[in-house]
Amino acid sequence: LDDETDPKDMLKILIKENLWLGVLFMFLNAFVVAATTEEICKYFGFWMMEHPDLLTPQEDGAVEEVEIGRSRRSLNSKGVATTIAMVITAVGFSCCENLKYVFSSADIETEIGTLIARSMFPVHALAAAIQSIGVCRRDLEGDKSVQLGRIIIPAVILHGCFDFFLMVSPILSIVNHADDITTDDDVSKEAEARYNMYVEVCQRYGAINDDVWQPTEDGSDAAAGQQMSQTDVIITTTAFGLSILSVVVGTIYYIVQSSRQTKRLHSLDMARAEGSTLGLVV
């Protein structure tokens, strides 16, 4: 760059050469601002709940001593209760978040579209279910090495990837259109493009005389240039596909980890039952 460089050309160069800044910003926004903050909020939202199904082993033992004759619940049953409680907390959080985004729009069509789009993938509920694996491992399996970090990190990775792929898409599109930064001539062509759009709509409904009102050639070229390019379509489709893939991978991860944990909890239940039987025999 030199002193004689046009400001618009300078802006184009800065956008193209500093793509990594935009990507880094969206990465931090997705993984730190959104994912980490929201997953911690959901964890402590669950932590503040009080319910007999969510008692600690010490509290649960005290209740069982008081309630004589009550059958002891299995660890798997308590694990299911923990997962349900965490998912319910996440759904409540998601509902509040969705309402904020939906009612920030001005028209009903955008509000309905936003609601449908945000309801298609239950990322919050899935992330909470993944968190419940760590909570059950700490509270039911007795693995004290599992603390807050190990509980939320898998959920943060899922949540962050889902958000990041969607957030980085506009950045890539901006770089793709860096050369389209308008000049004074472009502004006049844009006005002609809007004129052509109105003329074509009126012609479609027979509201004007076609012999008098005709689209201009310059405006037609500008309107064609404003259409989404093939590269934009590829960027948007790829980003959306990667977000869906992150949900699929997260679902598979939860199913595998949940199945393994179910077997471990069943083994602990069997060991506890054998210990109780031996105690009665003695």
pLDDT greater than 50 at residue 18? yes
**Dihedral sign computed on CA atoms, order 126, 172, 18, 14:** negative
Question: How many Cα atoms occupy the beta-carbon half-sphere of 187 within 13 Å?
Answer: 2
Most confident range (mean pLDDT) of 51-55, 72-76, 183-187 is 72-76
The whole-angstrom separation of Cα 246 and Cα 164 is 10
The predicted-structure confidence for 203-254, as pLDDT tens digits, reads as follows 554 545 555 555 555 444 444 444 567 888 898 899 999 999 999 999 999 9
Q: Measured between alpha carbons, how far is residue 55 from residues 60, 71, 125, 179, 276 in Å?
A: 6, 16, 22, 61, 21
Q: Is 167 left (phi over 0), alpha (psi -120 to 50) or beta?
A: alpha
The predicted-structure confidence for 176-191, as pLDDT tens digits, reads as follows 776 665 554 554 555 5
Instruction: Please state the rounded mean pLDDT for residues 13-19.
Output: 75
Most confident range (mean pLDDT) of 98-107, 115-124, 159-168 is 159-168
Read off the tokens for 16: 């193209």
Is residue 179 within 8 Å of 13, Cβ to Cβ? no
* pTM over 0.85, yes/no: no
Predicted local distance difference test score (pLDDT) of residue 186: 52
pLDDT greater than 70 at residue 263? yes
The predicted-structure confidence for 28-37, as pLDDT tens digits, reads as follows 999 999 999 9
